[in-house]
Chain A
C-alpha cells in the first residue's frame, strides 16, 4: 500500500513541476533577491555594497516611511472595513428585500451595477476620479455648486487635509462590489428554514441578520477581509494615477514610496527594504488571520 502510494505520488510530482518552477522563478527567487538587496546600498548599476541593517535603521527613523504606512492603514479602512460592513448590509438588503419584492432580475442588475467598478482597471478609475475631483470643472464641485453648496467645493486632491480622504472615497466606490458579490453568493447557501424558524419565534430582521446571516457567512467575511486588507497594503495604482503621493506627502503609500526609491531616486537598496517590510507585514497578517480562522473552526 505504502509502496503503491509513493509511486503514485511520484507520478503526480511531474505535474507539479511547472507550478513549482513558476513559483521559484517568479516569486521565491525575486523575493530572496529583494531581501538580499535590502541589506545593500545600490543605485541599480554596478555592484551592490553590503551595508547590513543600515536601510532598516533608516526606515525606522524616516518620517516618509511612517507616513506611508499610516496612509496604508487609512486605506484598510476604505478598502476593507467600510466595504465589508456596507457590503454586508447591501447584500442582505438586495437578497431579502429587493429580490423578494422586485424579483431576482432586479437584484442581479443592482449587484452588477455595484460590481461594475471592479472590472475597470484601477489606473483608469484613478484618472476618471481625478477628473471628478478636478477643482474647476470636476463633477463633484459642479454638483456642490449646483446644489448651492459652493462653500463645500474645494480642490479635493490638492488640499493636504482632504487629499487622502478623496482617495479613500474613490476606493470605497471601487471596492464595494467585491464583498457584495461574495456575500450574496454566500447568502444563497443559507438554509431558508433557519429564517423561517426565527420568524416563527418572532425575530426581527436585524436579529436574523446578526444571529443567523453574519454567523453563517463568517468564512466568506474572513476571506473578504483578508484579501482586501492585503490589497490595501500593497496598493499602488490609484496613488500613481491620482496624486503621485502628493500634495507634499499627504497620500504617499508604502509601495509607491518603494517605487520612488527603486526607480526614481536610484536608492534600490532602500526601495527593496521598504518592499521587504511590506511583504513581511502582509505575510504576518495572513498567517495570523489563517490561524485565527482555523482556531475558530475547531
Chain B
C-alpha cells in the first residue's frame, strides 16, 4: 500500500460519495457480477493496434522511469498507438474492481499490492497469471524473493505464495532521515543500536528540541514508527504469520507488548512532541525541511521530495539500528487484466520497465531500482539509498507494512495508535484494539 503513504494524492479524491450523498455509494457498486474472463481475441494486424497503459505515478521517480520506457516502447512498436492515461491513486482504489470486471480494461495497469486489492482481484480471476511469462523473460531473476512476496497470491488471494500476478519495478522501505548539521552541533553520531538511538533522542530532549517529527493526524505515518519497534522483537516467522494470516499471532506476546510499551514510553518522554495527533504528514515533513527537527522516520517514497526541499542543511539517512527486519516491500504492481486485448504488448512493456535503461532513470530520479546500473547513478545520496535497500534484501529483511493483512486495517491500526499517543489507551488496551478486527477477519476466511 505504498501509495497510501503519499498523502497528497488522497487530497484529490474524486468525491463520488461526498458530493452526492449516500445513495451514490450504491450507484458506485457494480450492478452485475463479473463474468468469467474470456480469451483475448487475436488482434487484427491490418488495423493500428491501440495499447493502453494506466498508472498513478506521474511526478514521482517511477513516473519518470515509465515515461522513458514508453518512449522505448514506441520505438519498438512504431505500428502501435500507445495511449497513456494518468490516474489518481484514489480512482484506482475505488474503481479498480469495477474496471477489471468490465471489458473496457487497459492492457497494463498499476494497482496497489496487498490482500485487499491485488489479492482480491486475483482470487476472482480478474488478473492474468504471469508466472510463466516471468520465467521466459527473466523477470523472476530481477525480482528477489522478498520483493516477489507482494507479487504472488495464492488461491485465497493471500499474499506471499502462489502464482505471480503482478510485477513491481521498484522497492521501498522506511528509514530515519536525519539532519547532519544538528547532529554535529549537538555532538551526536549515527546510532548503531536502539539504546544509542534513545540516548540521542534523550539528548535532544534535554536540550529543548523535539527529536522526531510525526504526522499522526494522517493515520498511517505512526504505523511505521510502531512497526519499526515491533521488528526489534518480531522474527521472520511472526511477521509472516501476521502478514499472511497463517499460524499463531499472539498480540500479547513479547513482540507486540514490547512495541506498544516502547512506543508509549517514547510518546511519554516527548520524542514526538505534544501535538503529533494533530499534525499532518506533510506538516511533519516540513518541520524537518525547516531544520527544526533532527530526525524524521518515514519512507523512501519521500526521498525525492527531501532532495528537492532541503537546501539549507546537510542531511543523511540510516535504518533503525540493531535489527535485521525492516518495514518495506517491493513497490506497487503492474498487472495485466484478464480481459486485456494486447497481452503480448503488455509483456513487452513490462520488460522495458524492468530493463537497465528505465531502471537507471528510476534510480537517478531518486527511486529505488531493482535492476539499475549503479555506475550510471551520479548522486551520492541516491547511491547510499540504493545501497541501504541492497542491505535489506541481503538480510531477507523486507517486513512489509503492518496495515496489509486485513482490508481497512490502516484505519484500525492508525486509529488505535492515535488513542495510544493520546494516552487514552494503555499498551495492553492498544493490543486488544488491534487484535479484535484482525482475529475477526482471520476467522472469516
A→B interface (CB under 8 Å): 26-27, 30-31, 33-34, 37, 43-48, 122-123, 127, 130, 133-136, 155-160, 234, 236-237, 240-241, 243-249, 255, 258-268, 271-272, 275, 278-279
CB-CB < 8 A to A44: which residues of B? Answer: 29-30, 97, 120
Whether A30 and B278, one on each chain, are in contact in the complex, defined by CB atoms closer than 8 angstroms, is: no
Task: Check if B291 is an interface residue, CB within 8 A of chain A.
Answer: no
Docked pose: A30 CA to B124 CA in angstroms: 24
Q: Which of B72-103 contact A (CB under 8 A)?
A: 93-94, 97, 100-101
Which listed residue (B123, B278, B283, B411) contacts A159, Cβ 8 A?
B278
Whether B23 and A272, one on each chain, are in contact in the complex, defined by CB atoms closer than 8 angstroms, is: no
Q: Which of B1-57 contact A (CB under 8 A)?
A: 11, 13, 15, 17-19, 21-31, 33-34
Which listed residue (A45, A236, A249) contacts B124, Cβ 8 A?
A45
CB-CB < 8 A to A272: which residues of B? Answer: 25-26, 29
Docked pose: A279 CA to B97 CA in angstroms: 25
Docked pose: A247 CA to B415 CA in angstroms: 6
Q: List 17 A-B contacts (CB under 8 A).
A: A34-B29, A44-B30, A127-B11, A135-B278, A135-B279, A136-B275, A155-B274, A155-B279, A158-B275, A158-B279, A243-B217, A244-B218, A245-B415, A248-B422, A255-B18, A262-B29, A275-B22
Task: Check if B280 is an interface residue, CB within 8 A of chain A.
Answer: yes
Task: Check if B116 is an interface residue, CB within 8 A of chain A.
Answer: yes
Docked pose: A45 CA to B337 CA in angstroms: 14
Return B436 CB to nearest CB of chain A, in Å. Answer: 11
Known: A135-B278, A279-B22. A260 touches B408 (CB 8 A): yes
CB-CB < 8 A to A234: which residues of B? Answer: 21-22
CB-CB < 8 A to A271: which residues of B? Answer: 25
Whether A34 and B23, one on each chain, are in contact in the complex, defined by CB atoms closer than 8 angstroms, is: yes
Docked pose: A27 CA to B416 CA in angstroms: 37
Docked pose: A133 CA to B278 CA in angstroms: 8
Return B153 CB to nearest CB of chain A, in Å. Answer: 13
Whether A136 and B26, one on each chain, are in contact in the complex, defined by CB atoms closer than 8 angstroms, is: no
Given contacts A46-B124, A158-B276, list 15 more A-B pairs with CB under 8 A.
A46-B34, A130-B280, A136-B275, A136-B279, A158-B418, A236-B18, A237-B15, A246-B217, A247-B217, A247-B415, A255-B17, A258-B17, A259-B17, A265-B406, A275-B22
Which listed residue (A248, A258, A265, A278) contacts B416, Cβ 8 A?
A248
Docked pose: A45 CA to B29 CA in angstroms: 10
Whether A237 and B18, one on each chain, are in contact in the complex, defined by CB atoms closer than 8 angstroms, is: yes
Whether A158 and B25, one on each chain, are in contact in the complex, defined by CB atoms closer than 8 angstroms, is: no
CB-CB < 8 A to B424: which residues of A? Answer: 160, 248
CB-CB < 8 A to B396: which residues of A? Answer: none
Whether B275 and A135, one on each chain, are in contact in the complex, defined by CB atoms closer than 8 angstroms, is: yes
Return B368 CB to nearest CB of chain A, in Å. Answer: 27
Whether A264 and B419, one on each chain, are in contact in the complex, defined by CB atoms closer than 8 angstroms, is: no
Whether B120 and A246, one on each chain, are in contact in the complex, defined by CB atoms closer than 8 angstroms, is: no
CB-CB < 8 A to B101: which residues of A? Answer: 45
Docked pose: A237 CA to B17 CA in angstroms: 9
CB-CB < 8 A to A278: which residues of B? Answer: 22
Whether B419 and A266, one on each chain, are in contact in the complex, defined by CB atoms closer than 8 angstroms, is: no
CB-CB < 8 A to A37: which residues of B? Answer: 26, 29
Q: Count of chain B residues with Cβ under 8 Å from any Cβ of A? A: 56
Task: Check if B334 is an interface residue, CB within 8 A of chain A.
Answer: no
Interface centre among B22, B283, B408, B414 (most CB of A within 10 A): B22
For chain B, what secondary structure do more than half of its interface residues adopt (helix, strand, loop), or is it mixed? helix
Docked pose: A158 CA to B222 CA in angstroms: 13
Known: A245-B415, A248-B422. A259 touches B219 (CB 8 A): no
Docked pose: A245 CA to B217 CA in angstroms: 10
Task: Check if B277 is an interface residue, CB within 8 A of chain A.
Answer: yes
Whether A246 and B219, one on each chain, are in contact in the complex, defined by CB atoms closer than 8 angstroms, is: yes
Which listed residue (A156, A246, A248, A261) contacts B408, Cβ 8 A?
A261
Whether A158 and B217, one on each chain, are in contact in the complex, defined by CB atoms closer than 8 angstroms, is: yes
CB-CB < 8 A to A255: which residues of B? Answer: 17-18, 21-22
Docked pose: A165 CA to B183 CA in angstroms: 40
Which listed residue (B121, B277, B410) contacts A155, Cβ 8 A?
B277
Docked pose: A234 CA to B23 CA in angstroms: 10
Docked pose: A240 CA to B31 CA in angstroms: 26
Return A169 CB to nearest CB of chain B, in Å. Answer: 15
Docked pose: A155 CA to B29 CA in angstroms: 38
- Ranked 4 nearest A-B pairs via Cβ: A158-B278, A265-B408, A34-B26, A155-B278
Docked pose: A43 CA to B98 CA in angstroms: 12
Docked pose: A44 CA to B33 CA in angstroms: 9
CB-CB < 8 A to B130: which residues of A? Answer: none
CB-CB < 8 A to A45: which residues of B? Answer: 34, 97, 100-101, 120-121, 123-124, 126
Which listed residue (A134, A158, A258) contacts B277, Cβ 8 A?
A158
Nearest neighbor of A282 in chain B, beta-carbon distance: B22
Task: Check if B407 is an interface residue, CB within 8 A of chain A.
Answer: yes
CB-CB < 8 A to A258: which residues of B? Answer: 17, 22, 25
Known: A240-B13, A247-B422. A30 touches B414 (CB 8 A): no
Whether A123 and B410, one on each chain, are in contact in the complex, defined by CB atoms closer than 8 angstroms, is: no
CB-CB < 8 A to A31: which residues of B? Answer: 23, 26
Return A275 CB to nearest CB of chain B, in Å. Answer: 4
Return A216 CB to nearest CB of chain B, in Å. Answer: 32
Whether A241 and B11, one on each chain, are in contact in the complex, defined by CB atoms closer than 8 angstroms, is: yes
Nearest neighbor of B25 in chain A, beta-carbon distance: A275
Q: Which of B256-297 contact A (CB under 8 A)?
A: 274-280, 283, 287
Docked pose: A195 CA to B398 CA in angstroms: 78
Whether A160 and B422, one on each chain, are in contact in the complex, defined by CB atoms closer than 8 angstroms, is: yes
Whether A263 and B94, one on each chain, are in contact in the complex, defined by CB atoms closer than 8 angstroms, is: yes
Return B365 CB to nearest CB of chain A, in Å. Answer: 28
CB-CB < 8 A to B218: which residues of A? Answer: 244
Docked pose: A127 CA to B278 CA in angstroms: 13
Return A77 CB to nearest CB of chain B, in Å. Answer: 21
CB-CB < 8 A to A259: which residues of B? Answer: 17, 25
Return A69 CB to nearest CB of chain B, in Å. Answer: 13
Docked pose: A240 CA to B27 CA in angstroms: 20
